[in-house]
Amino acid sequence: MSQQHDVSSLSKTRLDRRSLLTSAVAVGAGVAGLGLIGEASRVAAAGMSDTAADALGEAMRKLWQEHIIWTRLYIVSFVAGLPDLNATTERLLRNQTDIGNAIKPYYGAAAGTQLTRLLRQHILGAAALLKAAKAGDTVAVARANSDWYVNANEIAAFLHGANPKNWPLGDMKQMMRRHLNLTLAEATAQLQGRYTDSVAAYDRVETEILGMADMLADGIAAQFPRLHNQGQGRG
C-alpha cells in the first residue's frame, strides 16, 4: 500500500469524508499488535539498578503519553473549531521541549535542543496536514504528508546517531512510521465524524507509544548504566 494512496484519500475530505484515508486506518489496525516493542531489549539494561531503570522508564512513558494525549486534544479541538485550540497547541509544543530536556543529561544540551526542534516540526507538520485535509486542498495535503514523513525519518536518524548500538536505524524508522500511520488513522476518523473509530485508534496509538517509550528508555539504560546510577550527565 503506497503512502501516496493514503494522501489521495486524505485530500478528499470535503467531497467524501467516508473515503478519507481509509487505507491509513487499515494500516493502523494492521500494526496495532506490534506495540510494546521495548520489552525484548530490557535485558540490555542489566548494568543499571532496577530502581534507576524503572524511574527512567516511568519518566519516558509519562513524557510520551503526554505527547499523544495533547496531540489528541489538539486533533479534537482543531476538527471541532474549539476555542481552546491555542492553549492546547502551546501545551503540546511544551511537551516537545520537555522530551528534548529529558535526554540532555545523557546526550548534552545541543542534542536535546535538536530533538526538540525535530519534534516541534513533527507537531507542526501534523497540524499542516490536518489543516489541508479539512480544507480539501489536495496539493497541500500531498506536500504536508511528504514533509511529515521526511521529518519522521530525520527523527529516526537523530536517535540512531545518538545510540547506534541500541537504536538501529531500521528499527527507529519503523517505529516512527508506525507512530505516524496510527496518528493519521486517528485524525482521519475524527475528521470523518467516526468518533468510536477515533477513540479505538487512539487506543492503538497509546499501545504503540508505550512500546516506543520503553525502547528509548531501554536504549539509554543500556548505553549509560553508570551515568544514570550516579545521577550525572554530559549536559
Q: Which of 28-42, 71-85, 130-144, 169-183 has the lowest mean pLDDT?
A: 28-42
Coil/strand/helix, residue 70 = helix
- Whether pLDDT at 5 is above 70: no
Q: Per this entry, what is the length of the chain?
A: 235
Determine the average pLDDT of the residues in 138-166: 98
Asked whether residue 117 carries a pLDDT value surpassing 80, the answer given is yes
User: For a pLDDT cut of 70, what percent of the chain falls above it?
Assistant: 75
Q: Residue 52: its pLDDT value, please?
A: 75
* pLDDT of 233: 45
pTM exceeds 0.75, yes or no: yes
Q: Is 4 exposed, middle or buried (0-12, 13-18, 19+ CB in 10 A)?
A: exposed
Label residue 227 by pLDDT band (50, 70, 90): low
- Please say whether the dihedral angle defined by the alpha carbons of residues 177, 182, 188 and 190, taken in this order, is positive or negative: negative
Q: Which residue has the cell 539498578?
A: 49
Listed by start position, the domains of the chain span 50-226
pLDDT of residue 230: 53
CA angle centred on 192, ends 186 and 66, rounded to 5°: 25
What is the tens place of the pLDDT at every residue in 58-91? 999 999 999 999 999 999 999 999 999 999 999 9
